[in-house]
Amino acid sequence: MTALDWILVALGAIALSGLAVLVLHGRRQNEQLEKLLLAADDRLEQLQRQFERFVPADVVERLTEASDVLAPERRQVTMLFADLRGFTALCDRLDPAVTVGILNDYFRHMTIAIGHHHGHVTEFVGDGLLALFGALEANPWQARDAVLAALDMRAALARYNATLRERGLPELRFGIGIHGGEVVAGVIGTAGLSKFSVTGDPINVASRVEGLTARYEVDLLVTEDIRRALDDQFRLRPMPPALVKGKAEPIQTYHVEAER
Amino acid sequence: MAVLLSEIQWSDPVLPAAPDAAWEAELKRRGAPVLEVDRRVAASRWLREAAYQATNYMPAALPERLHRMGSMVTAQENSCRYCYGANRAYMKLLGYSESFIQQVERDVQMAELDAKERAYIAFCRSLARSRPRPAAAERAALLELGYTPAQIGEIAFAISFGCFFNRVSTLLACPPEKKFERMAAGPFRWLLALAMPLMKKFGPGRPETAALDRATLAAGPFGVVVAPLAGLQAGTIMKAALDGSFESGLLSRSAKALMFAVVARTLGCPHCEAAATRLLLEDGFGQADIDSAMATLRSPRLAQGEAGLLAWARDTVYYEPSSIQQKTRALGAELGAAALLEAIGVASLANATVRLAMLLE
């Protein structure tokens, strides 16, 4: 081999080593990028889980999937209002930590019962909650779901009261009002603070019906609209028509006694 | 956010294994492994054949690696611990790195995949999830990216039938294939990886399934949904499953048709609801009977043991595994083991059929 050949071989070797270094470097960079991407994804997932403590998981999922999926729209929705009776008076007597513990456990049991029947809790206000059925996606059986959820809530509250009794704590009582109708569903609020919820007259009616449970001393009332959507699966007792705030005519309600 | 394998809550099996020596011998003759699911569905002729087809189907016009990836994300979207674990293990045997698999399951944008492959994965997720079910626009987007109508038919079938198998496994709470998962994660997985293609090449083969024409596919229950798969093996498999499920007598034909109608309404599919209605009218139901059953999820025309079927079928569309497994166990107390297995097959097939009907959009 001539000196030129040696030089060419040496240059070739240098070029090959350079190429190998570049490939290795590129691969290392890729691996680092991959790690960064997975770490970023980890952080996003953690954030999403934290977010789900404040907003229903279904809503979080839809918000992260696409920006316009929760665009406001008119929907047929069934609303369930539940409120604890006499809890404010209880709060004055109990240690704050115990009060919050009781309330959190109560909400947990109720949320499970509601989720079990295709509903989702959209907000907790004090010791009350609002659950929606058919707000996130069309649900042809929303009235039935809401009533079944309420019956499960009644059973869950009875079980929870048994544990409270064992701990020497006061038992809870609630009132539930269910009504359905066309509402506007969407993300409502300001850029700084907003929530997925519904607005419209039916929600006021549902709230008033929940208020009637105290007057009639029953735990679960549904409106005529809900009754019409049910079959004889449930044992209903008609209550006297009642005038409620914001309505010119008295509204007919029914006490749901049990599932047949 | 799709769940990861470790996050899925899974209960004890709903039905025990009921091995059938003759069926296991047949599976071995076809070169297929005998899976936990096979041991639990062996008592139902149509269901065991459909389960075999679900795990052994390979699209003709789609690379195996893509098909496996699609199967994994489908199982993940359906929160099927059994299928997700098995598919994940299978991907490892195919040579995918752990980090790549994690990227797929976390739905991270993957640089290794081109736009066409990424669209495929997104479509798998969308159809498996069906919240809402993909519409014509998503099908058109795949066509634009270069997928042929036949490929889209195969893809839609693979995902839909994957959803069928995911539900069968989930509703049975089938125990995961832990041994296989351990082998795929162990140091000697390369041995298995080497052996698998050799077994495929030299071992006993999967029996050939003749493709059927449109007219043949269109005859029979939900033929309108199967017809777009004319000329594909997928069509023959789907038709056999549908015909078999409606021929079996463990549940009434009307109960099955109503289960299909309920799943169709839950997923918003007018084509499948109309097809189910036709079957019910043939069975002597009046339109008022059908409307009432669909409004209340109950029908006085069904046998007493079948009373809970419609509400349960509706719950098989979107669910959390441990919750639907609990409901399935409760249904079993009303139906008995044999009819429960049939119900699991029918509800799973209804979910597959309604998803497949996206081809009609």
pLDDT 10s digits, A67-122: 556 778 899 999 999 999 988 888 888 899 999 999 999 999 999 999 999 999 99
Q: Who's near B329: CB < 8 A, 6+ residues apart?
A: B11, B14
**Helices (DSSP H) in chain A: which residue ranges?**
3-51, 57-65, 87-93, 96-116, 142-166, 201-216, 224-229
Architecture of domain A70-259: 2-Layer Sandwich (3.30)
Res B25: pLDDT: 96
The percentage of residues in chain B with a pLDDT greater than 90, rounded to a whole number, is: 81
Distance, C-alpha A168 to centroid of its chain:
31
User: A188 phi and psi, to 5 degrees?
Assistant: -115, 135
Question: Would you call B330 an interface residue with chain A, using a CB distance cutoff of 8 Å?
Answer: no
Reading the block at residue B73, the tokens are 């994300």
**What is the pLDDT confidence band of residue A166, given thresholds at 50, 70 and 90?**
very high
Residue A54 has pLDDT above 70, yes or no: no
CA dihedral A185, B141, B59, B245 (to 10 degrees): 40
Res B313: pLDDT: 98
Residue B54 has pLDDT above 90, yes or no: yes
Res B159: pLDDT: 98
Backbone φ/ψ region at A193: left (φ over 0), alpha (ψ -120 to 50), beta:
beta
| Nearest Cβ partner for B99 among A34, A45, A141 | A34
Give the single-character DSSP code of B159: H
**Residue (of B222, B164, B262, B266) closest to B359 by Cα position:** B222
Question: Would you call A171 an interface residue with chain B, using a CB distance cutoff of 8 Å?
Answer: no
Domain definitions of chain B by residue range: 8-202, 214-360
Reading the block at residue A218, the tokens are 């029953």
Between residues 151 and 170 of chain A, which touch chain B (CB distance below 8 Å)?
none
Question: Would you call A230 an interface residue with chain B, using a CB distance cutoff of 8 Å?
Answer: yes
- A38, B323: Cβ pair inside 8 Å? no
Q: Who's near A110: CB < 8 A, 6+ residues apart?
A: A82, A121, A129, A153, A156, A157
Of residues A8 and A155, more confidently modeled:
A155
**Per DSSP, what are the bridge partners of residue A197?**
A186
* DSSP of B237-288: HHHHHHHHHHH--SS-HHHHHHHHHHHHHHTT-HHHHHHHHHHHHHTT--HH
Between residues 71 and 130 of chain B, which touch chain A (CB distance below 8 Å)?
99, 102-103, 106, 108-109, 111
Best of A27, A68, A114, A141 to mutate (most B CBs within 10 Å, chain B):
A141
Give SS3 for A228. Answer: helix
Reading the block at residue A145, the tokens are 């779901």
How far apart are the CA of A191 and the nearest CA of chain B, in angstroms? 24
Residue A40 has pLDDT above 80, yes or no: no
Q: Counting Cβ atoms within 10 Å, is residue B300 exposed (0-12), middle (13-18) or buried (19+)?
A: exposed
**What is the pLDDT confidence band of residue A32, given thresholds at 50, 70 and 90?**
confident
A·B CB contacts under 8 A:
42
**Domain B214-360's class?**
mainly alpha
**What is the pLDDT confidence band of residue A49, given thresholds at 50, 70 and 90?**
low
| Nearest Cβ partner for A38 among B102, B265, B314 | B102
How many Å is the Cα radius of gyration of chain A?
Answer: 29
Residue A66 has pLDDT above 60, yes or no: no
Q: What is the pLDDT of residues B130-144, one digit of tens each?
A: 988 998 999 999 999
Chain B residues closer than 8 Å to A35 by CB: 99
Residue A29 has pLDDT above 60, yes or no: yes
Report d(CA B282, CA B284) in Å as an integer: 5
Q: Average pLDDT in the B347-353 region?
A: 98
Question: Would you call B326 an interface residue with chain A, using a CB distance cutoff of 8 Å?
Answer: no
How far apart are the CA of B327 and the nearest CA of chain A, in angstroms? 10
- B99, A144: Cβ pair inside 8 Å? no
Res A64: pLDDT: 65
Number of residues that make up chain A? 260
The percentage of residues in chain A with a pLDDT greater than 70, rounded to a whole number, is: 91
Residue B310 has pLDDT above 90, yes or no: yes
Q: Average pLDDT in the B174-178 region?
A: 96
User: B58 phi and psi, to 5 degrees?
Assistant: -130, 120
Which range, of A155-164, A212-221, B55-64, averages the lowest pLDDT? B55-64
**Residue (of B114, B76, B47, B69) closest to B340 by Cα position:** B47
How far apart are the CA of B206 and the nearest CA of chain A, in angstroms? 39
User: B275 phi and psi, to 5 degrees?
Assistant: -65, -40
Cβ-count burial A223-242 (b if 16+ within 10 Å, e if not) = bebbbebbeeebebeebeeb
Of residues B326 and A11, more confidently modeled:
B326
Q: Are B356 and B160 in contact (CB under 8 A)?
A: yes
Q: Average pLDDT in the B239-257 region?
A: 97
- A38, B108: Cβ pair inside 8 Å? yes
How far apart are the CA of A147 and the nearest CA of chain B, in angstroms? 12
Q: Average pLDDT in the A207-233 region?
A: 95
- B106, A45: Cβ pair inside 8 Å? yes
Residue B146 has pLDDT above 90, yes or no: yes
Question: Would you call B323 an interface residue with chain A, using a CB distance cutoff of 8 Å?
Answer: yes
Of residues A245 and B173, more confidently modeled:
B173
Res A73: pLDDT: 87
Report d(CA A125, CA A128) in Å as an integer: 5
Res A160: pLDDT: 97
Give SS3 for A112. Answer: helix
User: A183 phi and psi, to 5 degrees?
Assistant: -135, 170
How far apart are the CA of B154 and the nearest CA of chain A, in angstroms? 26
Q: Average pLDDT in the B313-320 region?
A: 96
**What is the pLDDT confidence band of residue A1, given thresholds at 50, 70 and 90?**
confident
Please state which CATH number belongs to domain B8-202: 1.20.1290.10
Q: Write out A143-181 in H/E/C secondary structure.
A: HHHHHHHHHHHHHHHHHHHHHHHHCCCCCCCEEEEEEEE
How far apart are the CA of A210 and the nearest CA of chain B, in angstroms? 25
| Nearest Cβ partner for B298 among A41, A137, A231 | A231
Q: Are B221 and B272 in contact (CB under 8 A)?
A: no
How far apart are the CA of A141 and the nearest CA of chain B, in angstroms? 7
The winner for highest mean pLDDT among A41-45, A60-64, A104-108 is A104-108
Res A55: pLDDT: 62
Q: Are A196 and A113 in contact (CB under 8 A)?
A: no
Q: Are A222 and A257 in contact (CB under 8 A)?
A: no
Res A214: pLDDT: 95
Reading the block at residue A70, the tokens are 């929760």
Residue B89 has pLDDT above 90, yes or no: yes
Res A90: pLDDT: 82
Chain A residues closer than 8 Å to B111 by CB: 30
Residue B121 has pLDDT above 70, yes or no: yes
| Nearest Cβ partner for A137 among B103, B111, B131 | B131
**What is the pLDDT confidence band of residue A256, given thresholds at 50, 70 and 90?**
very high
Between residues 183 and 222 of chain B, which touch chain A (CB distance below 8 Å)?
none
**Helices (DSSP H) in B149-251: which residue ranges?**
149-172, 178-185, 189-202, 214-218, 223-226, 233-247
Average pLDDT, chain B: 93
Res B65: pLDDT: 86
Between residues 6 and 65 of chain A, which touch chain B (CB distance below 8 Å)?
30, 34-35, 37-38, 41, 45, 48, 60-61, 64
Question: Would you call B6 an interface residue with chain A, using a CB distance cutoff of 8 Å?
Answer: no
Res A2: pLDDT: 82
- A144, B297: Cβ pair inside 8 Å? yes
Cβ-count burial A181-214 (b if 16+ within 10 Å, e if not) = bebebbeeeeeeeeebbbebebbbbbbbbbbbbe
The single-letter code of the amino acid at A223 is T
- Apex B131 CA angle, B127 and B135, nearest 5: 55
Report d(CA B323, CA B271) in Å as an integer: 29
Chain A residues closer than 8 Å to B296 by CB: 144, 230-231, 233
What Cα–Cα distance (Å) separates residue B30 from each residue in B27, B50, B53, B59? 5, 14, 11, 18
